[in-house]
Amino acid sequence: MCPDRPDLSRLGPIVLAYDNDALTGDAASRDVLDQLGAVEASVAELGGCPVRMAMDLDLAAARESLLRVRPGLVFNLVESLGGSDRLQSVAAILFEDVGLAFTGTGSLAMTLSNHKLASKERLAAAGVPVPAGIRLDASGKPVLVGGDHVTRDDWIVKTLESHASLFLDDTMVLRDADAGAAAEAVRAAAAKHGQPFFAEEFIDGREFNISVIDGPEGPEVLPPAETRFIDWDPARPRIVGYAAKWEEGSEQYQRSVRHFDFPPEDDGLLSRLREVSLAVWQSLGLAGYGRVDFRVSADGVPYVLEANANPCITPGAGFAAAAEQAGMTYSELIRRIALAALRR
């Protein structure tokens, strides 16, 4: 029996759904377990009765478990299924199909935001600045996405639907390369790693992350964060690659530092970042909580790199750090995410 506690106690069991891959995965996957433990502790502190549920591709078993538990809320912490980030939205589809309230973005918006080129096309159509991209069509020919023309000679090659800067390192940045060379790099990366890639114009400028959370009156922008590259090797491209995110002993990890302090002359830029973040939220149909990643060019244009539905909320990670800057405790953040799901 769940003890009778205030606040979230009225919901009965609260399922914390997460991907079973986290038990055996890499550092990025294992971070899900840290997130899970922190959310579990906060749900209990808020009076809720947390119940862990690991998910895999056995959706019939997951459905049976949900119907047996009959949760008042599902905390959706699923980031992949069956080892594939592309299947993240399947969990949301299941929760929708069973008719449960769940945290974060719905399945349709999650699918759209996870597909970096589809979201790029949607945002470009809405007038949001995005770097031009190159994908390969069915015949292997390059196709321009998200812009009418290419304006730069530098490119960065990325996975199409994987998270956590997977495979992203210095070799994925191409300097002084034409579109043909970028397309060839996409082919090589896809052949090497066995999943789709694309190329995007590389904006060699300032990097910002803007977190957004649903509130009673609509989405609210949390304090902007900038990643600053401290004493960075000039020969190394300034990117937040896999090492910078997950390899704590690496130079990239130690020298890419999050900051929330800005001089007054940045006020106009920060206002524009907030404005564009809300436009991204609306254009992609995000809900609950999300993060928008930007690069700002030398001429001051904020380009949206991608939108992250249900970003990591591990304490100390970007979203939780922005909430803390806004004056929230971690448990208050979890309460707000839960209440946003119940309002929806």
- Residue 330: per-residue pLDDT: 97
**Does residue 253 contact residue 228 with C-beta atoms inside 8 Å?**
no
Tens-digit pLDDT profile for the chain (344 aa)?
454 444 688 899 999 999 887 666 666 667 888 899 999 999 999 999 999 999 999 999 999 999 999 999 999 999 989 888 889 999 999 999 999 999 999 999 999 999 999 999 999 999 999 999 988 888 878 888 876 666 778 999 999 888 778 878 888 899 988 888 889 999 999 899 888 899 999 999 999 999 999 999 999 999 999 999 998 888 888 988 888 887 888 888 888 899 999 999 999 999 999 999 999 999 999 999 999 999 999 999 999 999 999 999 999 899 999 999 999 999 999 999 999 999 88
Tell me, letter by letter, the H, E, C secondary structure of the chain.
CCCCCCHHHHHCEEEEEEEHHHHCCCHHHHHHHHHHHHHHHHHHHCCCEEEEEEECCCHHHHHHHHHHHCCCEEEECCCCECCEHHHHHHHHHHHHHHCCCECCCCHHHHHHHHCHHHHHHHHHHCCCCCCCEEEECCCCCEEEECCCCCCCCCEEEEECCCCCCCCCCHHHEECCCCHHHHHHHHHHHHHHHCCCEEEEECCCCEEEEEEEEEECCEEEECCCEEEEECCCCCCCCCCCCHHHHHCCCCHHHHHEEEECCCCHHHHHHHHHHHHHHHHHHHHHCCCCEEEEEEEECCCCCEEEEEEEECCCCCCCCHHHHHHHHCCCCHHHHHHHHHHHHHHC
Measuring CA to CA, which residue among 326, 145, 173 is closest to residue 252?
A: 173
- Cα gap 185→138, rounded to integer Å: 16
- Full-model pTM: 0.92
Instruction: Determine the pLDDT at residue 82.
Output: 87
Give the pair of three-digit tokens for residue 94. 């299941």
